[in-house]
Amino acid sequence: MKFLATQPPSEPERTPMAPQGTAAQTPGFTIALRNFMAYIRIECGLAPLTIATYGRDLDDLVGDLLARGVTSPRDVTPEHLSEHVRFLSGKLNRNLDPASTVRHISTVRVFFRFLHANREIPENPARLLERPTKWRKIPNVISPGQMRKLIEAPGPDHGDLWIRDRAILELMYAAGLRASEVGSVRVNEWYPVIASLSVIGKGNKQRIVPVGMPAAQALTRWLETQRADIVKANEAQADHRLFVSIRGKPLERVAIWGLVKKYATIAGLHDVHPHVLRHSFATDLLRGGCDLRTVQEFLGHSSVVTTQIYTHVEKSRLREIVAKFHPRFDR
């Protein structure tokens, strides 16, 4: 019998999310977690953000297992993991979106496969756990007019670093950057002569993204005025990052999130976060006639399948396209 991800019960018992460090602080899981995290960090060479995601997933897994009375990896059964998947999808529990559920189940499968391969457990309880079919909801985007309001929201009345903030918003929309990429990009990765940016994305994949004149001008203004005054040749503290805090230190991803949310509120926009700017970048490219493969390169997607979610924007143009090009279309 295969233990699949099934629909949750109609009224699942609510289980609280596990706090950070749950797995590491649970005696029965401490050594197993330490060995696994060392493996993905040293042998697999995963990025810090990816490693942190694995850790959060395993904290949630162990927290749920503890609630079911399971205190060691050796005691985990396929039934426990099947119930855990139901917990992930439960509307009264985590209510994870499908992409996050798929990722979490992948973490569980890799974790127990590693433990079994290293003879830390006699059987692999996740061997029959299948990943659910991954579907994607239509990404949330905002119109060019709303984007203009967001980008123009930073002003002298909104903090000392409003020039930096506008440059960040301009760049995120102009280059389709993730929040983590905005914080990690360095000064020498910006090429003003060709108005292009070198970005290291997920999986350490490098891509070159051109940006438009408004973003280039905003970056130049930030670099030549506020950043120059803040850093004052102390590039070691700034870690040569393109964007820094008021104290001259690199910006964390959470700061980028807060910045976008702040100006979205000022602009009167709702449900806007960094990835909405990335979604809008891709959507506007396709709406303007850019081909899917080029958008894939700009976004740094490994597969064009990931990029295909943005083709929804072209559906509104289908009748117009067919009417224009098909010789037998009834006008």
**Structure token pair of residue 65:** 């297992």
Q: Which class for 32: exposed (0-12), middle (13-18), buried (19 or more C-beta within 10 A)?
A: buried
Q: What is the pLDDT of residue 12?
A: 34
Q: Is 190 helix (H, G, I), strand (E, B) or coil?
A: strand
Same domain, 65 and 171: no
What's the domain count of the chain?
A: 2
- pLDDT tens per residue, range 312-328: 555 555 556 556 666 66
Same domain, 130 and 154: no
Q: Is the pLDDT of residue 91 over 50?
A: no
Radius of gyration of the chain (CA): 23
Instruction: Summarize the confidence of residues 40-52 as an average pLDDT.
Output: 83
Same domain, 247 and 273: yes
Q: Is residue 265 part of a domain?
A: yes
Q: What is the pLDDT of residue 137?
A: 55
Q: Is residue 50 part of a domain?
A: yes
Q: How far apart are CA 134 and CA 200, in angstroms?
A: 26
Q: Is 208 helix (H, G, I), strand (E, B) or coil?
A: strand
- pLDDT tens per residue, range 134-161: 545 556 788 899 999 999 999 999 888 9
Q: Is 251 helix (H, G, I), strand (E, B) or coil?
A: coil
Q: Is 297 helix (H, G, I), strand (E, B) or coil?
A: helix
Same domain, 106 and 194: no
Q: What is the pLDDT of residue 138?
A: 58
Same domain, 311 and 183: yes
Is residue 180 very low, low, confident or very high in pLDDT (cuts 50, 70, 90)? confident
326 to 46, 185, 209, 288, 331: CA distances (angstroms): 49, 46, 35, 21, 10
Same domain, 42 and 170: no
Q: Is the pLDDT of residue 43 over 60?
A: yes
Backbone torsions φ then ψ of 51, nearest 5 degrees: -60, -40
Better-predicted residue by pLDDT, 44 or 275: 275
Q: Is residue 73 part of a domain?
A: yes
Domain boundary among 101, 135, 169: 135
Instruction: Summarize the confidence of residues 217-245 as an average pLDDT.
Output: 92
- pLDDT tens per residue, range 107-136: 999 999 999 998 899 999 998 887 665 545
Q: What is the pLDDT of residue 6?
A: 32
Answer whether 61's CB lies under 8 Å from 23's CB: yes
Whole-number mean pLDDT of the chain? 82
Domain boundary among 135, 162, 189: 135
Residues with catalytic function = 178, 202, 275, 278, 301, 310
Q: Of all residues in the chain, what percent carry a pLDDT higher than 90? A: 43
Same domain, 176 and 85: no
Domain boundary among 135, 156, 173: 135
* CATH number, domain containing residue 54: 1.10.150.130
Q: Is residue 115 part of a domain?
A: yes
Q: How far apart are CA 290 and CA 219, in angstroms?
A: 25
Is residue 206 very low, low, confident or very high in pLDDT (cuts 50, 70, 90)? confident
Q: What is the pLDDT of residue 8?
A: 30
Same domain, 83 and 176: no
200 to 186, 209, 300: CA distances (angstroms): 10, 11, 9
Answer whether 323's CB lies under 8 Å from 331's CB: yes
Q: Is the pLDDT of residue 247 over 70?
A: yes
* CATH number, domain containing residue 152: 1.10.443.10
Same domain, 160 and 23: no
What residues make up the domain containing 37? Answer: 1-135
Is residue 250 very low, low, confident or very high in pLDDT (cuts 50, 70, 90)? very high
Answer whether 22's CB lies under 8 Å from 62's CB: yes
Backbone torsions φ then ψ of 100, nearest 5 degrees: -70, -35
Same domain, 61 and 159: no
Strands (E), 82-238: 190-191, 196-200, 206-210
